[in-house]
Structure 1
Amino acid sequence: MIGIAYAEGWQDYTPSYYFKPIAGVVTLVLSAKCVKDFVNGDLVGTLPEGFRPASTIQMPATVLSETADVTLSVGSNGNLILFDKNHQGSLEIFTANITFLSAL
């Protein structure tokens, strides 16, 4: 299991990690805390080559600190980007558990 490389303003809420339990399959377990003002479409972190999908995928995420409609985007460039459809200017903690096929 490998820890997440967070972007500035993000950190673990509980240990977050990614791994390949089976060749070509990536599991991402993310529990992150925003320690700055959240901006919709914020870069949370980046996955390295070999752990990225062939094309961008979007999955729902759960916000622990409020009611929100949040999506985590995992880009083919490795970027983990968080979108809140009803952004109200505050988003503190979110979790996501995603399994996908890697590009390699």
Structure 2
Amino acid sequence: MTPVVKGYRIDGDLEVDVVALQDKGVGSQDMYVLSLDKSRTDKIAEDTGITGIDIEKENNPDRVALKEKLKAIGVDDNTVATFKKDMDEDKVYLIVTDSRVKGLL
């Protein structure tokens, strides 16, 4: 299954969606948070109980490590390509691998 991915500019909006998904039975082990700011990712992960994808902002424009981590949880190449630009614009992502979320985010 291809994960459901949603970008946020406001961390609180992401946290509200995480709580709503948890209330619908989606497990924390099926949700990931990703941003280029490690402390931001860590704070959201701690506040919500979901997994933070630990990626340091790299000077490499291709961000090979980021691509590999996202592909490991099933994110396709086209979605990975959009992450680079959006993350540079300070977006944070919620990635959900539970198929029940299709249409909920």
Normalising by structure 1, report the TM-score. Answer: 0.29
Which has more strand, going by share of residues? 1
Which has more helix, going by share of residues? 2
Normalising by structure 2, report the TM-score. Answer: 0.29
